[in-house]
């Protein structure tokens, strides 16, 4: 059986195949990184067969045009929901399965999760919100899912890297998470709330997450 390698090891194959001395590491989509953060521990523990996600993405995700107060884009977004972000849904589907895939002898074997995404823009400056509905490969109680998310530690936590959150995922109760309150927590944390059963999918689970699209998405995602 071929050994499974860490994603970072594909760089040596990139250098060899292209005869490069350096390398290129693309940053992941800022919406994808929040979703993947929560899917990874569930995929490892139970398997994930299907995901339906609706994003409510902040204006800062659109770059300069989203933050400049006099731009046509910003004016149109005021007190509004823009129901389409061109190209975003394709990125979420493709990148999620790539990031959750495995590297085997320099080849990326993508994950096979059936993913459907609807990406919208909302009148919020910073922090993306996502409503996630998924079907696990095996049965798990909501208490077990909560513990799996809360107790997850990635290699970044094990190495105690200074830029990461000590607890990468935190499950909250009540009317949480909210973009306005996300700033009360470490920037690199992904907050999860509204955790509950979903009767539409086999072994279904639903939740809402918030993820800082600048600090964690654009800045820290690739790291």
Please state the pTM of the whole predicted model.
0.92
- The string of pLDDT tens digits covering residues 54-72 is 999 999 999 989 989 899 9
User: CB under 8 Å, gap of 24 or more: what pairs does 66-73 form?
Assistant: 66/121, 67/125
Query: Would you kindly state where each structural domain of the chain is located, as residue ranges?
Result: 4-220
In this prediction, residue 144 carries a pLDDT of 98
Active site residue 162: no
In this predicted structure, what is the pLDDT of residue 7?
Answer: 82
Looking up tokens 């049965």 gives 139
For strand 114-122 and strand 48-57, is the pairing parallel, antiparallel, or unpaired?
A: parallel
- Residues comprising the chain, all counted: 223
- pLDDT, averaged in runs of 10, over the chain (223 residues): 68 90 88 96 98 97 90 94 96 95 86 97 96 98 98 87 88 96 93 97 98 87 71
Catalytic residue among 128, 133, 162, 182: 128
- Domain 4-220: CATH class, spelled out: alpha beta
Q: H or E stretch including 170?
A: strand 169-171
Q: Which of 7, 30, 116, 119 is catalytic?
A: 30
Active site residue 30: yes
pLDDT score for 205: 98
């Amino acid at each position: 059986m071929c050994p499974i390698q860490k994603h970072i090891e594909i760089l040596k194959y990139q250098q060899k195949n292209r005869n490069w001395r350096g390398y290129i590491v693309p940053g992941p989509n800022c919406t994808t990184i929040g979703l993947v953060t929560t899917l990874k521990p569930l995929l490892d523990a139970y398997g994930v067969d299907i995901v339906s996600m609706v994003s409510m993405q902040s204006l800062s995700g659109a770059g300069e045009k989203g933050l400049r107060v006099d731009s046509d884009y910003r004016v149109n977004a005021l007190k509004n929901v823009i129901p389409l972000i061109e190209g975003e849904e394709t990125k979420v589907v493709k990148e999620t399965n790539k990031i959750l895939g495995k590297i085997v002898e320099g080849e990326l074997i993508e994950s096979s999760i059936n993913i459907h995404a609807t990406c919208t823009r909302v009148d919020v400056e910073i922090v993306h919100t996502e409503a996630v509905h998924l079907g696990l490969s095996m049965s798990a109680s909501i208490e077990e899912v909560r513990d799996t998310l809360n107790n997850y530690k990635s290699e970044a936590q094990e190495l105690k890297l200074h830029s990461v959150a000590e607890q990468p995922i935190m499950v909250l109760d009540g009317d949480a998470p909210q973009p306005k309150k996300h700033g009360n927590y470490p920037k690199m944390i992904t907050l999860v709330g509204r955790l509950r059963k979903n009767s539409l999918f086999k072994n279904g689970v639903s939740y809402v997450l918030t993820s800082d699209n600048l600090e964690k998405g654009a800045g820290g995602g690739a790291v």
